[in-house]
Structure 1
Amino acid sequence: MRTSAGKGAMRQLRMKGKTPAVVYGGGAAALSLEMDTKTLMQQLLEIYRQNAVVTLKIDGDKDRYVLVGEVQTDPVRDTLIHADFCEIDLQKVRRFDVPIVYTGIAKGVDLGGEMFVEHDSVTLEGLPLEIPDQFSLAVTDLKIGDHMTFGDISLPPSLKLISRADTVCVKVDKKINV
């Protein structure tokens, strides 16, 4: 845990190879932390921008289950400046935006069409540990004029689709030459 605050104290912390961080949520006051920058950077690279639940083991405190919130980096030196974590209840249903990865080459593209990705993520509701990191949708069967909707995504019964099922997420149309 961190007891110091302010610009000067944070600058000193960073010079010692530490990164200031904060844990919000969980019904308690925000908890200020200092974390080893090298270790934090390696672990954040693996999970940043994913719906990954992280277990924070805090000296002298209980383990906390968190999602990575905002991560601030220095744009010139590409070093960590600050990290925010949001504490969550693993038994409480939440909403998540899950990325969609389109795989394959659509038949319609081979026949001169063009594939248009309308949405690259879908909103779902479920328990945090049941949310996938991403969905893969095979587009190989799409011909010119075909499309796929969010309703075409195969979901486990424990997850609820929040995005409208009839919303087109990818389509193949004739190529327009301008």
Structure 2
Amino acid sequence: MIRKELTAVVRKSFGKGPMRRLRAAGNTPAIAYGGGKEALPLQFETKVLFQELVDLQGRNAVLTLKIDNGSERHVVVREIQADPVRDTLYHADFQEIDLDKEAVFTVPLEFVGKAKGVDFGGIQVIENNTIQLKGQPLSIPDSCQIDVRPLAIGDKVTAGQIALPQGASLVSDADTVCVTISAP
């Protein structure tokens, strides 16, 4: 799993007007919640937050928030709100996680190579492009690779056949088909 650090400032103003002024000053409001603690309103420098979140889009990542009050929180991104017209960040939600507790994560699948069956006229059909894994956050991979090169027409790869790193276990049904090479 990817790890990144971000610096944040505790936000003291609330409401529509103060949030507009905050955004106009180049900052983005956010909130960090969970972990049995009270929700913490934060603000980030928009440019820095945007660059970090674009880099992490669609990937599992643990962010360490270095907060100006001296505390530190380990979080995952739960929701990002953006203005669709101006393509700017509007708000971000972060959920605190415990790095020592197991949790369930959705992990994308990467299909590597060109199947042997495709060379002979077959069609590669991706049935599922994600699987669910359980484990401590830092033992969960960014993605799982499936080498499709040896697959012939009629072959398939199920979730149970995917090689998993140590410390991660499969939550998805092992018989779930991920990719097949079907006849034309």
What is the TM-score normalised by the length of structure 2?
A: 0.93
Paired residues for 1:108-119 under 5 Å: 108-119=117-128
Paired residues for 1:98-113 under 5 Å: 98-113=107-122
Contact 1:48 1:68 in 2 (8 A): no
- Give the counterpart letter for 2:162 in structure 1: I
Q: Which has the higher strand share?
A: 2
Q: Which runs of 5+ in 2 are unaligned?
A: 1-9
1:80 aligns with 2:89: yes
Contact 2:35 2:98 in 1 (8 A): yes
RMSD of aligned Cα (Å) = 0.9
CA-CA distance at 1:157 after TM superposition: 3.4
**C-alpha distance in 1, partners of 2:93/2:86?**
20
**C-alpha distance in 1, partners of 2:159/2:92?**
33
**C-alpha distance in 2, partners of 1:151/1:137?**
12
Paired residue total: 175
Query: Aligned to 2:56, which of 47, 54, 59?
Result: 47
Paired residues for 1:139-154 under 5 Å: 139-154=148-163
Contact 1:99 1:122 in 2 (8 A): yes
Report the secondary structure of 1:44's partner residue.
Answer: helix
Paired residues for 1:7-22 under 5 Å: 7-22=16-31
Alignment-derived partner of residue 138 in structure 1: 147
CA-CA distance at 1:156 after TM superposition: 2.5
CA-CA distance at 1:7 after TM superposition: 1.4
CA-CA distance at 1:29 after TM superposition: 1.3
Q: Which runs of 5+ in 1 are unaligned?
A: none
Alignment-derived partner of residue 56 in structure 1: 65
Alignment-derived partner of residue 5 in structure 2: none
Off by >2 Å, runs of 4+ in structure 1:
none
Contact 2:27 2:46 in 1 (8 A): yes
Contact 1:56 1:65 in 2 (8 A): yes
What is the TM-score normalised by the length of structure 1?
A: 0.96
% same residue: 52
CA-CA distance at 1:126 after TM superposition: 0.1
